């Protein structure tokens, strides 16, 4: 099932919850919408579901058909919410079967669908248990997911479905949810404020901020080559160093940041105020001849599989991250040679509103 969101705006008095949002989701795609709390993610999902009416002028198209004026029950969508919503007086089986029953499916088709769901979801052991008898919240949420899928809908909307679960359960369930959705060839829109969750399961990530879509792309594109500085900031740790373009040759330029100079590809004119950006893992502990620096380790953080070093060079500090096995044996106070991978350095225009405002989450 395909979805097209066209020019959706939603205001509550003076609060603009959504500002001219446009989005296309292709058949079978797993799209994750990520953004800080309050940026309009739930409002967007609710407008798609039909439980909130958008301001005039916007449209929701499902498989090319305008459903903007249809009530939620006629849009044929499945939903899963952050709060696990199961009928307490029905068993897991009855909860899952509820929707096909109320929808009066062909009985044979209904049984086939339910059996398929039990199989994919691996919830069979809990078939005859009531929600309160299921101690794992992860399993409860999975039953809620199965119930949403049992509507037979080919478009699933998930609003922070893993948010109330323990981190271990969250991490395994997110992969499982994606797998089930893919097996059933369903199109999904999954909303989260967790960047890592978004990157680990999305075919396509949509970054939202203050009621608008900032950027859309694959996890790798947005993580390493974001076009917008907010995306760079929001999707994970990064080094952001303000500077000025001091040299240009073809597509290559040098950015002076205090006493440091970065060589990289960029399109800015000589003299422009810019920000150099790179991820902590783009710091490499060896000399290469360009983007070489000598710094001092001022902090070391053990992160399990990775080690993070905070390195000071002149007035600038960098964060580096390496796999523990690749990390040099450095301690606080040590001097270190390193370079920054030129291919992984991006140069952004210095934001007019200042760096702090450009990164503000609300
Ligand atoms: P998210 O899901 O990204 O956290 P929401 O979509 O819930 O954000 O909210 C977006 C904005 O709209 C917030 O500023 C929120 O306070 C506001 N908002 C949401 N629902 C209402 C409402 N019913 N009345 C007034 N303001 C609302
Ligand atoms: Mg929300």
Q: Would you say 288 and 339 are in contact if contact means Cβ atoms under 8 Å apart?
A: yes
Q: Is 306 left (phi over 0), alpha (psi -120 to 50) or beta?
A: beta
Answer positive or negative: Cα dihedral of 108, 110, 111, 113: positive
**DSSP string for 191-213:** EES-HHHHHHH-SEEEEEETTEE
Nearest-CA residue for atom 2 of ligand 1: 42
- The verdict on pTM exceeding 0.85 is yes
Percent of the chain having pLDDT more than 90?
77
Looking at the predicted structure, is the pLDDT value of residue 138 above 70?
A: yes
Q: What's the rounded Cα separation, in Å, for the pair 232 and 109?
A: 47
Non-local CB neighbours of 265 within 8 Å, separated by 6+ positions = 251, 252, 253, 342, 347
User: How many angstroms does the Cα of residue 159 sit away from the middle of ligand 2?
Assistant: 7
In 3-state terms, what secondary structure has residue 52?
A: coil
Ligand 1 pocket test target in 38, 82, 163, 214 with most atoms within 8 Å of CB: 38
Non-local CB neighbours of 343 within 8 Å, separated by 6+ positions = none
Is the distance from the beta carbon of residue 42 to the nearest atom of ligand 1 less than 6 Å?
yes
Q: Which domain holds residue 290?
A: 237-358
In 3-state terms, what secondary structure has residue 37?
A: coil
Task: Name the residue with higher pLDDT: 84 or 206.
Answer: 206
Looking at the predicted structure, is the pLDDT value of residue 306 above 80?
A: yes
Q: Would you say 178 and 172 are in contact if contact means Cβ atoms under 8 Å apart?
A: no
For the CA of 44, the closest atom of ligand 1 is: 6
Nearest-CA residue for atom 18 of ligand 1: 17
Looking at the predicted structure, is the pLDDT value of residue 325 above 90?
A: no
| Average pLDDT across the chain, whole number | 93
The model's pLDDT over 105-117, given as tens digits with 9 standing for 90+, comes to: 777 777 888 888 8
Q: What's the rounded Cα separation, in Å, for the pair 291 and 284?
A: 10
Q: What's the rounded Cα separation, in Å, for the pair 121 and 92?
A: 12
For residues 85 and 167, membership in a common domain is answered with yes
CATH number of the domain within which 168 lies: 3.40.50.300
Q: Supply the pLDDT for residue 104.
A: 67
User: How many angstroms does the Cα of residue 211 sit away from the middle of ligand 2?
Assistant: 12
For residues 43 and 100, membership in a common domain is answered with yes
For residues 221 and 260, membership in a common domain is answered with no
For residues 13 and 40, membership in a common domain is answered with yes
Name the phi and psi angles at 311, rounded to 5: -120, 135
**CA 242-193-349 angle, 5° bins:** 20
User: How many angstroms does the Cα of residue 300 sit away from the middle of ligand 1?
Assistant: 40
For residues 100 and 146, membership in a common domain is answered with yes
Number of residues in the chain: 362
User: How many angstroms does the Cα of residue 47 sit away from the middle of ligand 1?
Assistant: 12
Is the distance from the beta carbon of residue 15 to the nearest atom of ligand 1 less than 6 Å?
yes
User: How many angstroms does the Cα of residue 24 sit away from the middle of ligand 1?
Assistant: 22
For residues 329 and 253, membership in a common domain is answered with yes
Looking at the predicted structure, is the pLDDT value of residue 36 above 70?
A: yes
For residues 162 and 121, membership in a common domain is answered with yes
Q: What's the rounded Cα separation, in Å, for the pair 1 and 49?
A: 14
Strands, E assignment, the chain? 3-12, 15-25, 30-34, 59-62, 65-66, 78-80, 155-159, 187-192, 204-209, 212-217, 239-249, 252-257, 260-265, 273-278, 283-284, 292-302, 306-313, 316-323, 335-340, 346-349
Q: Per-residue confidence at 100, pLDDT binned at 50, 70, 90?
A: confident
In 3-state terms, what secondary structure has residue 81?
A: coil
The residue out of 210, 232, 254 marking a domain boundary is 232
Q: Per-residue confidence at 346, pLDDT binned at 50, 70, 90?
A: very high
Nearest-CA residue for atom 21 of ligand 1: 12
For residues 206 and 260, membership in a common domain is answered with no
Mean pLDDT of 73-80: 90
Q: Supply the pLDDT for residue 51.
A: 93
Q: What's the rounded Cα separation, in Å, for the pair 183 and 161?
A: 19
Mean pLDDT of 36-63: 95
Q: Supply the pLDDT for residue 297.
A: 96
For residue 44, which ligand has an atom nearest its CA? 1
Nearest-CA residue for atom 5 of ligand 1: 40
CATH number of the domain within which 337 lies: 2.40.50.100
In 3-state terms, what secondary structure has residue 55?
A: coil
For residues 227 and 246, membership in a common domain is answered with no
The residue out of 211, 232, 253 marking a domain boundary is 232
Is the distance from the beta carbon of residue 39 to the nearest atom of ligand 1 less than 6 Å?
yes
For residues 181 and 55, membership in a common domain is answered with yes
Q: What's the rounded Cα separation, in Å, for the pair 294 and 277?
A: 19
Q: Per-residue confidence at 45, pLDDT binned at 50, 70, 90?
A: very high
Q: Supply the pLDDT for residue 277.
A: 97
User: How many angstroms does the Cα of residue 39 sit away from the middle of ligand 2?
Assistant: 8
For residues 348 and 224, membership in a common domain is answered with no
Q: Per-residue confidence at 39, pLDDT binned at 50, 70, 90?
A: very high
Nearest-CA residue for atom 15 of ligand 1: 38
For the CA of 159, the closest atom of ligand 1 is: 2
For residues 162 and 302, membership in a common domain is answered with no
The residue out of 232, 267, 283 marking a domain boundary is 232
CA-based diameter of the chain, in Å? 74
The model's pLDDT over 189-246, given as tens digits with 9 standing for 90+, comes to: 999 999 999 999 999 999 999 999 999 999 999 999 999 999 999 999 999 999 999 9
- Number of domains forming the structure of the chain: 2
């Amino acid at each position: 099932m395909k979805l097209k969101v066209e020019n959706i705006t939603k205001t509550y008095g003076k609060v603009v919850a959504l500002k001219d949002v446009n989005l296309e989701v292709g058949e079978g795609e797993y799209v994750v919408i990520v953004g800080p709390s309050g940026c309009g993610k739930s409002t967007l999902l609710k407008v798609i579901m039909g439980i909130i009416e958008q301001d005039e002028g916007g449209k929701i198209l499902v498989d090319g058909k305008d459903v903007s004026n249809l009530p939620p029950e006629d849009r044929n969508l499945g939903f899963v919410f952050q709060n696990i919503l199961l009928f307490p007086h029905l068993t897991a089986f009855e909860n899952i079967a509820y929707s096909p029953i109320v929808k009066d499916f062909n009985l044979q088709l209904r049984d086939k669908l339910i059996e398929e769901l039990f199989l994919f979801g691996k919830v069979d052991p809990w078939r005859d248990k009531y929600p309160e008898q299921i101690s794992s919240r992860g399993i409860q949420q999975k039953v809620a997911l199965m119930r949403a899928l049992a509507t037979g809908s080919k478009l699933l909307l998930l609003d922070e479905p893993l948010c109330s679960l323990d981190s271990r359960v969250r991490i395994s369930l997110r992969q499982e949810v994606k797998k089930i959705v893919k097996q059933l060839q369903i199109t999904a829109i999954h909303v989260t404020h967790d960047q890592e969750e978004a990157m680990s399961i999305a075919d396509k990530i949509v970054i939202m901020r203050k009621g608008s879509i900032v950027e859309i792309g694959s996890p790798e594109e947005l993580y390493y080559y974001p076009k917008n500085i907010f995306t760079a900031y929001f999707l994970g740790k990064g080094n952001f160093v303000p500077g000025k373009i001091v040299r240009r040759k073809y597509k290559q330029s040098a950015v002076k940041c205090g006493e440091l100079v970065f060589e990289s590809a960029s399109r800015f004119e000589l003299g422009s105020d810019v920000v150099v950006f790179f991820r902590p893992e783009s710091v490499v502990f060896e000399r290469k001849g360009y983007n070489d620096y000598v710094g001092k380790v001022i902090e070391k953080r053990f992160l399990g599989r990775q080690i993070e070093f905070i390195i000071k060079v002149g007035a600038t500090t960098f964060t580096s991250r390496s796999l523990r096995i690749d990390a040099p044996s450095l301690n606080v106070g040590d001097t270190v040679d390193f370079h920054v991978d030129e291919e992984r350095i991006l140069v952004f225009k210095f934001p007019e509103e200042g760096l702090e405002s450009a990164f503000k989450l609300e």
